[in-house]
């Protein structure tokens, strides 16, 4: 297989396969992302159910503390033993001043716990943060009568529950965090040792990321990352719930196997298609080569008897008496048609050698004007019968090496086209000149010309301007292709040049040869 053909068939397989692989990978990645998103949403929903359980417990605490604050009727002594998980009761008046326990009271009247409590809440009392928060909550449309307040002091998160009384004062409870944590753990699912054995682990972490509580049979590694993570609702918004699952299973080979199988199937199908196309191509190529060989052999077989027919017809024409006008006319037809057939065979043989890359020149020194005159003389009877007036303007008398037969074939094809396609113009001129070391030969006519749509294609093999079965002029469509190939083998070229009427073909040959 030729390298160019091998590259073509490789691209036929690789380009679609690469496109399908890229598309498959993109689709698989998109599907994987969608599955991951849905899976993460399911996990977050489970975590929010746990968060709802924690919020429900805090609502119970709120109700108990609210009831206790209302029943105190403004008497701090009645709340000496605050309900769990409260640690210390305190009261702030309508102006934001701490009333109980009174910091200005005699030190002897404060218990050790109360003195420690005053130290813990000194910042929020001095700045009246909690008092401002009790009014801000109401302004934001939340519960205007009670709420939670959190601040960071000492070991971390501290919580207080407050309730505003009718007189504008604020009754509040500092929350005992260890007790609250213990109550929350009691409300959560069972400990790992008594779990249902599900292959997962759910963790409750505090504001520092430390594990407060966890459950589930899975033991995640130290570097394991959670599959889903959410923050708890206020007032524990700095705490998080995390869920861990076994690693490796979601994105294993099994999920990629359908994609790999599909790509493999597409690759096999493309390779099979390329093989079938290559086999058909080789079959058509072999058939074309057989036909070309057959035409070449037939042309060679025809050339010898045709040469003899033409030779004896020309001898007969020379030896006929002048008074034998009819016989001379008949013989002239034989000579003209044999020459036409000879040119056709020469074109076929040249085309065959060109396709087989065996087209060669045999240059020899000569004058191109002499060759032009010989060709015009051969065409004179046919051109005269077609009513075409021939003008010549030959000015290339220099001697230089060129292939006389090849140049005669170029001119024969150009003049033959004038005879077949431009006879309606009734005129043809052949001119030659030497310009800048190049011999230029120009063939002009006043025929219908070449339509613009065909000007770039007339030098292609088998291209004809009118290829219909009813066309008045017939031809093989290889004459101009062979003429250009022969001109380029000389190192020159053949072109259709611009003209106001008809067609003008011009070919160039370098004086120094190729």
- pLDDT value for 407: 92
Mean pLDDT of the chain: 81
Q: 3-class SS at 204?
A: strand
The pLDDT-based confidence of 482 (bands split at 50, 70, 90) is confident
Whether the CB-CB separation of 464 and 481 falls below 8 Å is answered with: no
Integer Cα distance of 57 and 196 in angstroms: 23
Question: Within 10 Å of residue 430's Cβ, how many Cβ atoms?
Answer: 22
Token pair, residue 242, equals 């995390």
- pLDDT value for 438: 93
- pLDDT value for 460: 85
CB-count exposure of residue 406 (10 Å: 0-12, 13-18, 19+): buried
Overall pTM surpassing 0.75 (yes/no): no
Closest CA to 266 of 3, 1, 23: 23
Torsion angles phi and psi, residue 293, rounded to 5:
-65, -40
Closest CA to 167 of 79, 249, 291, 69: 69
Position 466 pLDDT exceeds 70? no
Strands (E), 206-246: 211-215, 228-231, 240-244
Tally: H helices and E strands in the chain: 9, 16
Choice among 205-219, 254-268, 488-502 with the minimum mean pLDDT: 254-268
Question: Within 10 Å of residue 361's Cβ, how many Cβ atoms?
Answer: 17
For 22-33, the pLDDT digits (tens) are 877 777 778 778
- Strand 389-394, strand 427-435: pairing: parallel
**Cβ neighbours for 40, distance < 8 A, ≥ 6 positions apart:** 227, 228
For 250-281, the pLDDT digits (tens) are 544 445 666 667 777 777 877 787 777 778 87
What is the C-alpha radius of gyration for the chain, rounded to an integer number of angstroms? 53
- pLDDT value for 470: 44
Token pair, residue 373, equals 């005159």
Domain ranges of the chain: 35-248, 362-510
Whether the CB-CB separation of 439 and 432 falls below 8 Å is answered with: yes
For 392-411, the pLDDT digits (tens) are 999 999 999 999 988 998 99
Closest CA to 240 of 202, 273, 196: 202
Strands (E), 189-255: 201-205, 211-215, 228-231, 240-244
Position 335 pLDDT exceeds 80? no
Fold of 362-510: Heat Shock Protein 90 (3.30.565)
Position 180 pLDDT exceeds 70? yes
- pLDDT value for 251: 46
**Cβ neighbours for 235, distance < 8 A, ≥ 6 positions apart:** 58, 148, 149, 150, 159
- pLDDT value for 193: 44
């Amino acid at each position: 297989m030729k390298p160019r053909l091998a590259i073509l068939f490789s691209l036929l397989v690789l380009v679609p396969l690469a496109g399908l692989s890229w598309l498959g990978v993109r689709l698989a990645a998109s599907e994987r992302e969608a599955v991951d998103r849905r899976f993460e949403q399911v996990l977050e929903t489970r975590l929010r159910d746990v968060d709802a359980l924690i919020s429900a417990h805090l609502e119970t605490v709120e109700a108990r503390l609210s009831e206790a604050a209302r029943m105190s009727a403004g008497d701090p002594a009645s709340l000496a033993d605050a309900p769990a998980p409260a640690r210390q009761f305190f009261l702030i008046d309508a102006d934001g001043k701490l009333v109980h326990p009174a910091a200005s009271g005699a030190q002897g009247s404060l218990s050790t716990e109360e003195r420690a409590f005053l130290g813990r809440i000194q910042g929020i009392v001095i700045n009246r943060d909690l008092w401002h928060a009790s009014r801000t909550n109401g302004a934001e449309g939340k519960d205007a009568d009670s709420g939670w307040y959190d601040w960071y002091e000492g070991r971390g998160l501290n919580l207080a529950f407050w309730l505003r009384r009718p007189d504008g004062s604020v009754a509040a409870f500092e929350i005992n965090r260890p007790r609250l944590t213990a109550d929350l753990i009691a409300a959560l699912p069972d400990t790992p040792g008594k779990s249902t054995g599900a292959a997962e682990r759910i963790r409750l972490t505090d504001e520092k990321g430390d594990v407060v509580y966890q459950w589930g049979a899975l033991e995640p590694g130290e570097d394991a990352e959670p599959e889903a993570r959410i923050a708890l609702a206020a007032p524990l918004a700095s705490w998080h719930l995390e869920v861990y699952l076994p690693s490796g299973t979601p994105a294993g080979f099994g999920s990629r196997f359908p994609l790999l199988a599909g790509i493999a199937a597409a690759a096999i199908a493309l390779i099979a298609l390329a093989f079938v196309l290559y086999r058909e191509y080789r079959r058509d190529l072999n058939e074309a080569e057989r036909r070309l060989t057959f035409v070449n052999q037939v042309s060679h077989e025809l050339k010898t008897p045709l040469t003899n027919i033409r030779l004896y017809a020309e001898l007969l024409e020379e030896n006929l008496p002048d008074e034998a006008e009819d016989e001379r006319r008949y013989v002239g037809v034989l000579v003209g048609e044999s020459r036409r057939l000879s040119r056709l065979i020469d074109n076929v043989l040249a085309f065959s050698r060109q396709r087989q890359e065996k087209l060669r020149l045999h240059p020899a020194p000569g004058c191109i004007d002499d060759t032009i005159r010989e060709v015009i003389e051969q065409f004179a009877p046919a051109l005269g019968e077609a009513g075409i007036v021939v003008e010549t303007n030959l000015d290339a008398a220099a001697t230089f090496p060129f292939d006389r037969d090849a140049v005669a074939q170029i001119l024969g094809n150009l003049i033959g086209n004038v005879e077949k396609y431009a006879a309606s113009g009734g005129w043809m001129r052949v001119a030659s000149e030497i310009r800048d070391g190049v011999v230029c030969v120009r063939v002009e006519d006043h025929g219908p010309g070449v339509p613009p749509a065909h000007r770039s294609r007339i030098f292609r093999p088998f291209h004809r301007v009118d290829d219909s079965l009813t066309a008045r002029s017939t031809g093989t469509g290889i004459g101009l292709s062979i003429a250009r190939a022969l001109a380029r083998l000389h190192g020159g070229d053949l072109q259709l040049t611009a003209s106001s009427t008809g067609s003008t073909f011009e070919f160039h040959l370098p004086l120094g040869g190729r």
